[in-house]
Structure 1
Amino acid sequence: MKQNILIVLGHPNLNSYCAQLANTYVEAAKSSGHEAHLLNLTELNFDYNLKFGYHKEKKQTLEPDIVKSQSLIQNANHLVFIYPSWWASMPAILKAWIDRVFLPGFAFAYQKHSPFPKQLLKGKTARIIITMDAPTWYYKWVNRSPGVQLLKHGTLQFCGVKKVKVTYLDQIRFRNHETLSKWIQNIEQLGKKGE
């Protein structure tokens, strides 16, 4: 099945291994007939600070790049997030983008007399590709996967994205060229399949 895929690069360095993974995914997806859009967050122009929270009377102006981001998410049926684990979470640029983009009325809606939101992103799937220096077992069992928990459960599933798969690429700084190249090939296969 052909997908409309949005790939979000959450690493601020466009020469990083994460950027290489993102570009590989996009090229592979397009070569297999998928529609694929790469969003390099570091190239976007927006205020990182959600100034008024979700205050009803005070609404922050949505910059063109935030509006574009929402449109790309709305049109996509598969979302891919690629970012490094920094301090067991995610880079500030990715967290800021999530704060500004996944707003009430777009990604979810509060419901009276219910702790559960109306999920406005139902029908979409996602994959998280996370790189880290720590071993995967340490990130999962000692740190308890805080960055993945935040994105997978606290954001995507909260907004209705139900099938969220995670690819862990660990101990990056200790890996040899052969392993890093093999992982690039694995990401290429995911891109071709649109997964």
Structure 2
Amino acid sequence: MHALVVTAHPSPRSLTAELARVTRTALEGSGWSVEGSDLYAQGWDPVVRLEDYGDAEDGAETVTLRSRRAYDVGTLAPEIVTEQDKVRRADLMVLLFPMWWHGMPAMLKGWFDRVFVNGFAFGLQDDAGLPRKYGDGGLVGRRMLTVVTAGDRGSSFGPRGQNGDLEQLFFPLLHGTAWYTGMAPLRPHLVSGVDRPGWDGFGQEADRLRERIAGLRAERPIPYRALADGDYGRDRRLRPDVLPGESGLGVHECVDGHRLAGAGSVDLNRR
């Protein structure tokens, strides 16, 4: 089993960087092979540019179409191809970053913007011509663990916390990026309260992260509903008979225990 550890923090002495080192060591100790993408250390450019696609002309095509053509013909920028190859090799992707303004740093968002292009992570169809997304897609068969550091106390990120429920805050990443492309997201791992004066919880948090990693193979992902399950109608809304009268982001989880789709695999080497 192979893991990709993606880190987004400008300081090599940050808590995020230290947790990344703990993560790599713990994964290797559990039998994983590991490679990394330290985005700041790599000097990763998070900005999407037309040059990413070997096309500097400002035509009428969308970025989605340009990126798909570049992916198909092999003209993506070399640094994008390098990161895509890392993702291809991974059975597990671990993201480590600080929560900035209730989200991931722009550096990491830009990594997704440039690497997860049409044809690679999404934009695929099944044999019947139906879209492969939400539980299926270019990255099906992989898992994703998000390790987030936050300044405020953990209780503030609960269902009744002032900062909002953590899984709902990261719904765009967990559901709209990972699950959309076929990856099975695990529940995010929060390291909280780190901005408190005199915080000295690194040892405890490192042990908690090691314990989490040791049990990853047996951990059940967030049971999001898959598009192929039939819970959604043609309008991509839940059918009226599914959780009638309920709304909100929580309705997209399977609380009745029916099967979790997206357990198959796809050949990512096709272009």
TM-score in same-fold range (> 0.5)? yes
Deviations 1:102-160 (A, max 9, x none): 11111111559867636111111111110111233434554444652221111101100
Once residues 175 and 148 of structure 1 are traced to their aligned partners in structure 2, the CA distance between those partners, rounded to angstroms, is 27
Percent of pairs with identical residues: 25
The one of 8, 11, 20 aligned to 2:9: 11
The within-5 A match list for 1:1-80 is 3-51=1-49, 53-56=63-66, 59=70, 62-80=76-94
Is the 8 Å Cα contact of residues 148 and 190 (structure 2) preserved in structure 1?
A: yes
Larger helix proportion of the pair: 1
Q: Does 1:136 align with 2:130?
A: no
**How far did residue 32 of structure 1 move?**
3.1
The within-5 A match list for 1:83-162 is 83-109=97-123, 111=125, 117=133, 119-141=137-159, 142-144=162-164, 145=166, 148-162=170-184
Larger Rg: 2
Is the 8 Å Cα contact of residues 25 and 188 (structure 1) preserved in structure 2?
A: yes
Once residues 157 and 100 of structure 1 are traced to their aligned partners in structure 2, the CA distance between those partners, rounded to angstroms, is 18
5+ residue gaps in structure 1? none
5+ residue gaps in structure 2? 51-62, 218-271
Larger strand proportion of the pair: 1
| Range moving further from structure 2, 83-92 or 108-117 | 108-117
Is the 8 Å Cα contact of residues 80 and 126 (structure 1) preserved in structure 2?
A: yes
Is the 8 Å Cα contact of residues 89 and 148 (structure 1) preserved in structure 2?
A: yes
The match for 1:170 is 192
Is the 8 Å Cα contact of residues 44 and 65 (structure 1) preserved in structure 2?
A: no
Alignment CA distance shift 1:17-1:32 (3 Å): same
Alignment CA distance shift 1:147-1:74 (3 Å): farther
Deviations 1:165-185 (A, max 9, x none): 211111111175542211012
Deviations 1:63-83 (A, max 9, x none): 333212111111111111111
Once residues 194 and 38 of structure 1 are traced to their aligned partners in structure 2, the CA distance between those partners, rounded to angstroms, is 18
| Range moving further from structure 2, 130-139 or 148-157 | 130-139
Root-mean-square deviation (CA), in Å? 2.7
The residue type paired with residue 21 of structure 2 is: N
Paired residue total: 193
| Range moving further from structure 2, 57-66 or 124-133 | 57-66
The residue type paired with residue 31 of structure 1 is: G
Is the 8 Å Cα contact of residues 174 and 185 (structure 2) preserved in structure 1?
A: no
Structure with bigger RCO (C-alpha 8 Å, 6+ apart): 1
